[in-house]
Structure formats: C-alpha cells, structure tokens
Amino acid sequence: MKIRMILFLLVIVCLLGGCAAPAAVPPDETYEKLIVVGFSQVGAESDWRNANTRSMQQALSAENGFRLIIDDAQQKKERQITAIRNFIHQGVDYIVLAPTTEDGWDTVLAEAKAAGIPVIIIDRMIDSSLATGDTGDQHFTSWIGSDFQRQGDAAVQWLEKQFGEQPLRIIHLQGNYGSSAQVGRTTSLEKGLDRNPHWTLVARDSGDFTQAKGQELVEAYLASGLDFNVIFAENDNMAYGAIDALKNAGITPGEDVIIVSFDANRRALEMVMNGEINFDVECNPLHGPRVQAVIEQLERGETPPRFTFVDETSFDADSLTQQIIDSRGY
Ligand code: AHR
C-alpha cells in the first residue's frame, strides 16, 4: 500500500512537470558568431612583446566579436609553423603571424592560402620576395609593423650629431638573428660604422632581446676588461640588463657609458628622464586595434592596405616630457 502511494505521488509530480525532459540548451549564438583568429606570437621575451600581446587580447575580445587563440612560440620558428598548421586544421577565420625571423614561411603560408584563410602579418616582416609579391603570388593579405631600419638610422644619426668627431668604442647588443628588428637596426649601425672611421665596434653578440642575456653579455665584457663608451642595445630589455651590469660594476650608465636603445617602453622613458638611457627610439607595439580594423574591413568585403607602417618617434632628455611618460600605456 505504501509503495502504491509513493508511485501515485511520483506520477502526480511528473504530470506537473517535475519529470519533464530538461529543456534543450539553446545554442550560444553569440559564441557561434564570433570571428575566430589564430595568433602565432613570437614569445614573451620583452616588455614590448607583452604589451603587443595585451593589445591583441584587448582588441580581439569577445565583446568586440572575436575569439582569439594565442600560441606562444617561445622565439622558435618551428613552433610557429606548427601553430599555423594547427590553426589551418581548426579552420580559424583569420591567422595573425608575428614572425620571429624573416625567412622560412613560403610553404606554410601557401598552405594557409590554399585553405582560404587570410593571413595578417604584424610587427616584423617576412622574406621580401613574398612581401612584395614579386612572384605575383601574395602569401599574406596585409602587413602592419615598423620600419626597423628607419629606427636604426635615427639612433645612428643621434650619435653622429651628439658626438661629432669624438672616438666611440661601441658594444652592440643584437636581437635574435634574422628578425627584421635585428636586421634593420644592425644594418643602420653598419652604415654608421662605415661613415665614421672614428667609431670602433669593440664587441657584438645577440642577447635575443632579453634582459637576462643583455646583462650576461655586458658582465662578460666587463670581466674581460673591454674598453668601451657606448652600448647600442637593440631593445629596452637588453639595455636594462646592460645597465644593471654597469651599475653592479660601479660604472654610471648615461655618463661613463652612453646608452642607446629601442622600444621606448614607459620604464625606459623614465630612465631617459633620469639620465640612465641617453636616447631611445620608439617601436610601437599597439597593433591590436590595427588588426581589428583590417579584419573588419575584410568582413565588409573591402580591401585593406597591403602595408601599414606605424608612425614612430624617438626621445632624449631634451625632447622627453613628464606628460609623454604619463601617457605611455606600456
Ligand atoms: O620586433 C619588435 C622587437 O621585438 C622589439 O624591439 C623587441 O623588444 C621585441 O622583442
């Protein structure tokens, strides 16, 4: 009798809706409409790079209609090639590539093209025959980045103007070999060395754009008793490392040794203001909104510019103001 009563009550509850099949979860339409972007990023080697990643995350957000998949290649081209193949396999709508070096992209970009996925390149350039489309076969849709040789020229011209005929003994800290940032800035210094016979290159090595390697290299030069009065660091993080090494050795950066650097991150600008860095050339990492604009143009069926060079400037203690530093977001 008791069991019958329980069954009876269960039937009543079910009839009132308690046992109804759960309502189907409506498809998440917002999610489905998002534009999927695979971003192969160089790594996290510098403050510049981290600012660049943040800029991409902020612009290509779900609120703005995107789903961004980031792959950190840890400065290894092979990892970038694998990441791009994975993006193709996943069927993303767009691929954004920040290439670690200029060479070696022909095959994988041809694969992206065959899959019908537009590729946008940011920051550095890829091999120039592809870049200019000499073959008539354009492997990417749009490129956004810096003119690295122009940056290098600005640094070299500042040294020439500042020091005239004075002899300079230069340590050159390079970025990762084969990257446009290294190639462009190094080419400028090479030309400066040719033009100025009173300049001597006393040491040169790659610090891979990292602070730790910049410091290691300068510590080793100091330990070997090298005589120098200029450090030409191809980015701010290597300059920070070099400055730490000098200070630890009781040498005053900016006075005993002239420091020239690239990026002009906020911290570096503060060091220009306090005299530890003498000259810093801007390299703008805020490509997120620029990529967003290119994708939105493509979505509307428009043709974005094939090349966009970012406006950049440079700073020394005379041109820098506290207002510029305060407005620096990275
Ligand atoms: O390609 C841009 C360069 O790469 C920046 O100067 C450097 O800081 C970064 O790692």
Provide, rounded to the nearest whole percent, the portion of the chain with pLDDT above 90: 86
Residues 270 and 156 grouped into a single domain = yes
Q: How far is the CA of 233 from the centre of ligand 1 (A)?
A: 11
Q: How far is the CA of 23 from the centre of ligand 1 (A)?
A: 52
Expressed as residue numbers, the domain containing 136 is: 32-145+285-311
Strands of the sheet containing 94-97, edge to edge, are 66-72, 35-41, 94-97, 119-123, 142-145, 307-309
Q: What is the pLDDT of residues 62-73, one digit of tens each?
A: 999 999 999 999
CATH at residue 168: 3.40.50.2300
Q: Output the pTM of the full model.
A: 0.89
Percent helix, strand and coil across the chain, each to the nearest 5 = 45, 20, 40
What is the Cα Rg of the chain in Å?
Answer: 26
Q: What is the mean pLDDT of the chain?
A: 91
Residue 230 has pLDDT above 70, yes or no: yes
Q: How far is the CA of 222 from the centre of ligand 1 (A)?
A: 25
264 found inside a domain: yes
Residue 247 has pLDDT above 60, yes or no: yes
- Res 133: pLDDT: 55
- Res 128: pLDDT: 57
DSSP string, 45-71: -SHHHHHHHHHHHHHT-TTTTEEEEEE
Residues 208 and 130 grouped into a single domain = no
Q: How far is the CA of 240 from the centre of ligand 1 (A)?
A: 14
Residues 137 and 154 grouped into a single domain = no
Work out the average pLDDT over 54-62: 98
Q: Which ligand 1 atom minimizes the distance to the CA of 179? A: 1
Split at pLDDT 50, 70, 90, the class of 127 is confident
Q: How far is the CA of 182 from the centre of ligand 1 (A)?
A: 9
Q: How far is the CA of 124 from the centre of ligand 1 (A)?
A: 9
Q: Which of 41, 49, 72 to mutate to test the pocket of ligand 1 (most atoms within 8 A of CB)?
A: 49
- What region does 12 belong to: left with phi over 0, alpha with psi -120 to 50, or beta? alpha
Q: Which of 42, 47, 48, 238 to mutate to test the pocket of ligand 1 (most atoms within 8 A of CB)?
A: 48
254 found inside a domain: yes
- Res 18: pLDDT: 43
Q: Which of 45, 46, 122, 237 to mutate to test the pocket of ligand 1 (most atoms within 8 A of CB)?
A: 46
Q: Is the sign of the CA dihedral 145, 149, 151, 152 positive or negative?
A: positive
- Res 137: pLDDT: 59
Residues 82 and 197 grouped into a single domain = no
Split at pLDDT 50, 70, 90, the class of 135 is low
320 found inside a domain: no
Structural domains counted in the chain: 2
Q: Which helix (H) or strand (E) covers residue 287, if one does? A: none
Q: Which ligand 1 atom minimizes the distance to the CA of 123? A: 1
Residues 46 and 56 grouped into a single domain = yes
Q: How far is the CA of 49 from the centre of ligand 1 (A)?
A: 6
- Ligand 1 pocket, CB under 6 A: 45-46, 48-49, 123-124, 181, 209, 235, 262-263, 283
- Res 21: pLDDT: 42
CA–CA dist 67, 134 (Å, integer): 33
Work out the average pLDDT over 7-20: 45
Residues 117 and 177 grouped into a single domain = no
